[in-house]
A and B are shown apart, each in its own frame.
Chain A
Amino acid sequence: MTLVVNDLKVYYNTLAGDVRALDGVSFEIADGEIMGLAGESGCGKTTLGNSLIRLDGRMRHVDGSVELDGQVLPIADSEAMDRFRYHSISVVPQYAMSAMNPTRKIGRMSRELIESRGIRYETVREEYERRLTLVGLHEGVLGLYPMELSGGMKQRVVMVLSTLLDPSLLIADEITSALDVSTQKAVAESLVGLRDNGFVRSMIVITHDLSILHEVADTILVMYAGHLAEKAPTESVIRHPRHPYTRMLIDSLPEVGVRFDQKRLEGIPGKPPSLLDPPAGCRFRARCPLADEVCQEQPPFVEIADGHQVACWKVE
């Protein structure tokens, strides 16, 4: 197991009280697994990604543990985490467009970044250029300014740079959501290539778009309002979802080939509960057509088939 997360709780401090964005989350990622993390805005997926690499000032580690390659990550201690960041756990942020310093050529910016981590740029330079060509970029991009590249190209430079030290875990947060469909595809393919070439061992791909995950992920973890709803191999989640939320979410997605006149899709009525003071029990209860008294108690996240875990009382 590359990553073992056990009952992780991370809250946000606000004036109104604690926002329980991540409320008891446990899962594992196997070696070589690309796990898609899906959910709607405010479900805690970005909080989960951030907790694994950097808690910002408002976030508080309340409970639970994270183990990477058998080592416990000191996620609450930012200085102690520095040893792991970039070397064994790395991130590709959502806005690669603004992740790069606009006043430096990309090569110089990369040098500054790598040397700030105590590594001589010359020792990795050749490998860096080789990997840039692998994702379809010319090594000449190092002599350009970020503004001279398109969004998809910048996204790929950041991807290569983030994985240059062969981290065990890469967190990719919404990296395709700002791109056009044709660019999206190239970026998604490069992402899988990073794993296939052995540049990263495992990956968490965070997105709200399930259809992208269908293309890149081996397993999908669906979150709802700070809790886990379902984790299973990609095909099982897409074709045989068991949690009512996953099922309704997939049914509401328009796809090429589905038309309003022929088949009217339905959304999910209601909205997610506030995480400031979330109701006890299953958090999807208020919007769930199957809910009854049992659901007032929080359902455990249990394995119902091989590699298929669901948190719902109504699943046999």
Chain B
Amino acid sequence: MGRLELRNVNKVYRVGTFGGDTLHAVKDVSFTAEPGQIVALIGESGSGKSTLGKMILRLTSITSGQILYDGQDVASLKGRQLKPYQAAVQGVFQDPFSSYNPIFKADRVFSMVKDSFYPHVPRSEWDDRLEAALLGVALDPDACLHKYPHQLSGGQLQRMLVARALLMEVSFLVADEIISMLDASTRVDVLNLLGDLKTRGLGVLFVTHDLSLGNYISDTAIILRKGRIVERGSTADVFDRPSHPYTQMLLESVPALHDARDPEHWREVAAARERGTCIYHQRYPEADAEAAAGDDNPIMAEIEPGHLVTCAHVDEGGGCGQAASGSAGQRRAT
């Protein structure tokens, strides 16, 4: 299996000289990632997207809330119980060049996996597995084994890290900005690789700041802002009919080569903004009061099946037109 569920996950960092201040990096994040699906976690810097990835990989602790993997609470795993989870949930990170030790050959990452997870597998069988994993990420084993990291390109190194994850019986991959360091001509190969892995039943959490990449590859899109989910839904819904002012602003900021967006919807959006309304408020006039009552705990409104939106006005300086005149915004300021 490999179903990952996040329930009201929060992360508070201690910051400041003596850890006296706190930073609420992730606020009440809940979503589910099904096997065979790519979930894109999209946000600008400081939105908490990498923190979420790290909590899933257990690289950092969860302040409150639960992360469930196939129904089991991940935080409760200790010692030896942790190994099966680590074998099933793996991460690949942004910078392929610093993921390798330059002193050793690049394929050391594979032998380390063998030593710590599969010490009993015979060498010949391991070599076969390794070759299959490399071919699975479209790498030629002769071209990348027994080489030092500087002899390989960024795209090759990044694909080797994906191959390392595949060597274990991984069923969920956290891909944190894995292509932002790669060149444009090889970028799309790594993206397509994720797409192919998905058809083999792997679940992927694709963390990115680049909306066009998130849009290209994912099935579900989650837009994060200041640690909170502002919009969530199938990628087609979120990108074709962005309903949160922040999502709309992000999409408008993306430089486009050929503008493929539906002009009708954008005119509608612009008109709605001029009227000072947002779709959330149009359909849920009563939500204003609810959100204000819950204060720090805004509800998400389902504006169409599976497409959820949080109102912006719970954040200071939110982009929602109603926030400026709305009572909730003022109450918060006092």
Q: A residues engaging B (CB < 8 A)?
A: 40-41, 180-182, 184-185, 188, 208-212, 214-215, 238-239, 248-250, 252-260, 264-268, 271
Q: Are B215 and A254 touching (Cβ within 8 A)?
A: yes
Query: How many Å lie between the Cα of A277 and that of B213 in the bound state?
Result: 35
Name 21 interchain pairs, CB-CB below 8 A, sorted by A: A41-B183, A180-B209, A181-B211, A182-B249, A185-B253, A209-B255, A249-B185, A253-B184, A253-B212, A254-B191, A255-B216, A255-B257, A256-B211, A256-B212, A257-B256, A258-B216, A259-B216, A260-B216, A265-B188, A267-B186, A268-B185
Q: Which residues of B contact A (CB under 8 A)?
A: 44-45, 153, 155, 183-189, 191-192, 195, 209-213, 215-217, 235-236, 239, 249-251, 253-258, 260-261
Which residue of chain B has its CB nearest to the CB of A181?
A: B253
By the criterion CB–CB under 8 Å, are A208 and B184 in contact?
Answer: yes
Quick check: A256 and B249 within 8 Å, CB to CB?
no
**Interchain CB contact under 8 A, A265 and B253:** no
- Chain A's closest residue to B261 (CB) is A257
Contacts A254-B216, A259-B216 known; A267 to B188 CB distance under 8 Å? Answer: yes
Q: Are A40 and B184 in contact, with the CB atoms below 8 A?
A: yes
**With the chains together, A80 CA to B50 CA distance in Å?**
48
Using Cβ atoms and an 8 Å threshold, which residues of chain B touch A265? Answer: 188, 191-192, 216
Say whether, besides A256-B260, A257-B261, A267 and B187 are in contact (CB < 8 Å): yes
**Roughly how many angstroms separate A257 CA and B250 CA in the complex, as a whole number?**
14
Give the Cβ gap from B246 to chain A, nearest Cβ, in Å.
9
In the bound complex, do residue A254 and residue B188 qualify as a contact, i.e. CB atoms below 8 Å apart? yes
Q: Are B255 and A180 in contact (CB under 8 A)?
A: no
Chain B min CB distance to A279 (Å): 17
Of chain A, the residue at the smallest CB distance from B255 is A211
Pairs of residues from A and B, 9 with the lowest C-beta to C-beta distance, nearest first: A257-B260, A254-B216, A268-B185, A211-B255, A180-B44, A267-B189, A40-B183, A185-B253, A181-B253
| B257-A40 in contact (CB<8A) | no
| 10 extra interface residue pairs, beta carbon distance < 8 Å, beyond A180-B209, A249-B185, A254-B212 | A41-B183, A181-B211, A181-B250, A182-B249, A182-B250, A209-B184, A260-B195, A265-B191, A267-B187, A271-B155
In the complex, are the beta carbons of A256 and B253 less than 8 A apart? no
Residues of B within 8 A of A211 (CB): 212, 254-257
Contacting residues, chain A, for B239 (C-beta < 8 A): 256-257
Tell me, in angstroms, the Cα distance from A188 to B217 when the chains sit together.
Answer: 27
CA distance A264 to B195 in the complex (A): 10
A181 and B209 within 8 A (CB) = yes
Query: Looking at the complex, which one of B45, B185, B261 makes contact with A256 (CB distance below 8 Å)?
Result: B261
Contact residues in B for A208 (Cβ distance below 8 Å): 183-184
Compute how far the CA of A252 lies from the CA of B155 in the bound complex, rounded to whole angstroms: 14
With a CB–CB cut-off of 8 A, which chain A residues contact B185? 40, 248-249, 252, 267-268
Which residues of chain A are within 8 angstroms of B249 by Cβ–Cβ distance? 182
Determine whether the beta carbon of A252 is less than 8 Å from that of B188: yes
Neighbouring B residues of A182 by C-beta, 8 Å: 44, 249-250, 253
Compute how far the CA of A260 lies from the CA of B190 in the bound complex, rounded to whole angstroms. 12
What are the residues of chain A within 8 A of B251 when measuring CB–CB? Answer: 256
Do the beta carbons of A255 and B260 come within 8 Å of each other?
A: yes
What residues on A are CB-neighbors of B213 within 8 Å? 254
The distance in angstroms between the C-alpha atoms of A19 and B205, with both chains bound, is 40
| Cβ–Cβ < 8 Å partners of B209 in chain A | 180-181
Complex: chain B residue closest to A271, CB-CB = B153
B212 surroundings in chain A (CB, below 8 A): 211, 253-256, 258
Q: How far is the CA of A269 from the CA of B155 in the complex (A)?
A: 11
Known: A252-B188, A266-B188. A180 touches B45 (CB 8 A): yes
Nearest chain A CB to B273 CB, angstrom units: 16
Cross-interface CB contact of A259 among B153, B184, B187, B215, cutoff 8 Å: B215
Contact A214 B255 (CB under 8 A): yes
Alpha-carbon distance A249/B186, docked complex (angstroms): 10
Task: Provide the bound-state CA to CA distance between A41 and B180, in Å.
Answer: 13
Residues from chain B with a CB closer than 8 A to the CB of A266 are 188-189, 192
A273 to chain B, nearest CB (A): 12
Q: Are B254 and A256 touching (Cβ within 8 A)?
A: yes
Is B192 touching A260 in the complex (CB atoms < 8 A)?
yes
A181 touches B254 (CB 8 A): yes
- Shortest Cβ gap from B145 to chain A (Å): 17
CA distance A252 to B188 in the complex (A): 6
- Say yes or no: A260 contacts B258, CB within 8 Å: no
Which residue of the partner chain A has the closest CB to B215? A256
Query: Which chain A positions have C-beta within 8 A of B153?
Result: 271
Chain A residues with CB under 8 A of B44: 180-182
Instruction: Decide: A252 near B216, CB < 8 A? Known: A211-B255, A215-B255, A258-B260.
Output: no
- Give A286 to B191 CA distance when docked, in angstroms: 23
Instruction: State which of A41, A255, A271 has its C-beta within 8 Å of the C-beta of B256.
Output: A255
Cα A61 to Cα B260 with chains together (Å): 45
